[in-house]
Amino acid sequence: MQQNEFFTSRWGLILSTLGIAVGTGNIWRFSRVVAQNGGGSFLIPWVIFLLVWSIPLIIAEFALGKSTRLSPIGAIGKTAGKNFAWMGAFITFVSTAIMFYYSVVAGWCIRYFVSAFSGDLFNTANHLNYWQQFSESGMPVFFHLVAMVIGGFVIYKGVVKGIEKANRYLVSSLLIILIVLLIRAVTLPNAIEGIKYLFTPKLEFILDYKVWLNALTQNAWDTGAGWGLIMTYAIYMKKKEDIALNAALIGFGNNSVSLIAGITIFSTVFALSSTDAMMQISQSGPANTGLTFIYLPLLFSKMSDSILVNTIFASLFFMALSFAALTSLFSMIELATKTTMDFGLSRKKSILIVASAGFILGIPSALNMKFFINQDWVWGVGLIISGAFISFALIKYGVDKFRTNIINGFGSDIKIGKWYNIIITYLVPIEVTVLLLWWLISSTTWDPEWWNPFHTENLGTCLAQWLIVLSLFIMLNKTFVKNVLKNEN
């Protein structure tokens, strides 16, 4: 398939791809998971898994997109063989199912930015009540619509005028805002206690296998590796563009942002919390919203005696969060749009279908927190299977051939050695198996009726929804091949 639109420069590509990787997970999930897993003890495996999960899979995604110029259905079908196009469809579906509720999350962030900017957020002393009143009303549907309209408009404008331009402004602004917040946070009295907690390792935690599994999960969910999103943006990279160096920059850049956000949140909470700081950071709250939407607004109101200063910093925080959510949402909308385009539709028609479907299918998550939690659970764990399918495609093609001809092929700035073969062939499949078994077996312990597919968060609901989607896609494999791979030999 002839590709006509490309990112104008390496920096445009890097900022756009960083926009995928940096999402709300860097800002609110990272701090909570670090707090629950012993601070510094968590950071050591977290760095190790950046090297043996995230970066190798980001490299694979860049290479699959650049070499095939097709969305995941075509890319996996062309690389692993036509019998496996359904795996690409599964990868696409998982990220699209996440898009439905992630747009709701982006809407929450926009709503809180508006509230902080207008001063409304500080008109209440009870932030739990403020959150409940918002989340139980119809307002999340309106802000979900706002997020989907913004995302749809950016994708409608295309790669250069839409994705690249928006990410250049939003990701650059996000990084600047985070650094401003970091400087403010570390200069608060007692902030050093938070930083100390963040970096102090505890032996009992390092020896706990759960800390290692949580570190791997954070890398799997937070970097965007294995989602098919980077693969989609890589379709638009120029032939002379490098793969390995850009992938490494995205992986390290993403985890750097997590670290900046972590230092900011730990410093702020330890400096301003009048009660147990650790309990406040590690509390989940409904759909893991506790720290961000309930506790941090309270802390921002106590940041200084000046309401103006507090308003500015709260607005900056929620603006950063909105930018992080939107730039990730763009990539999810683009993945679904590009897939539809691969079936022969124009960008205009595709975006209309995707944005409308995205809005309608996101409404249940906007209105019902149990539905939201169910979808987050089922497709969040489903992402691990997506990572396995990408690894499988490379193994089927021949990892050494893939590395030599594609990753180290035309345009490569740095060459990847044979260590890559070992990681993709052995380590990633082991990581996938252990992680899947751990999550699924754990889920049987927190629900006595673990087999019941109508429960919110258990093994039964995962298996039921995965099996329906996988069976459907396996049956439709010939249709995928006929439509998406019709021009390929």
Partner 1 sequence: METIITAVLVIGTVWGGVIIFIRKAIKFEKNKKEIPE
Quote the least distance from Cβ 262 to partner 1, whole Å: 10
Binding site for partner 1 (CB under 8 A): 6, 10, 14, 40, 43-44, 47, 50, 195-196, 199-201, 238-240, 242, 245-246, 248-249, 251-253, 255-256, 259, 413-414
Quote the least distance from Cβ 246 to partner 1, whole Å: 8
Quote the least distance from Cβ 128 to partner 1, whole Å: 33
Cβ distance to partner 1 smaller for residue 149 or 183: 183
Q: Is 50 buried (19+), middle (13-18) or exposed (0-12) by CB count in 10 A? A: buried
| Start-to-end CA span in the chain (Å) | 11
Cβ distance to partner 1 smaller for residue 244 or 484: 244
DSSP structural state of residue 51: I
Cβ distance to partner 1 smaller for residue 14 or 154: 14
Cβ distance to partner 1 smaller for residue 221 or 295: 221
The C-alpha atoms of residue 202 and residue 448 are separated, in whole angstroms, by 33
CB 266 within 8 A of CB 36: no
Say which residue the tokens 């539709």 belong to: 345
The C-alpha atoms of residue 11 and residue 411 are separated, in whole angstroms, by 15
Cβ distance to partner 1 smaller for residue 203 or 308: 203
Cβ distance to partner 1 smaller for residue 252 or 343: 252
R_g of the chain, CA atoms, integer Å = 22
3-state helix, strand, coil in the chain (%, to 5): 80, 0, 20
Quote the least distance from Cβ 200 to partner 1, whole Å: 4
Quote the least distance from Cβ 150 to partner 1, whole Å: 28
The C-alpha atoms of residue 151 and residue 162 are separated, in whole angstroms, by 9
Quote the least distance from Cβ 245 to partner 1, whole Å: 6
User: Which residue type is seen at 399?
Assistant: V
Cβ distance to partner 1 smaller for residue 246 or 461: 246
Quote the least distance from Cβ 170 to partner 1, whole Å: 19
Angle between helices 10-21 and 244-272 (to 10 degrees): 50
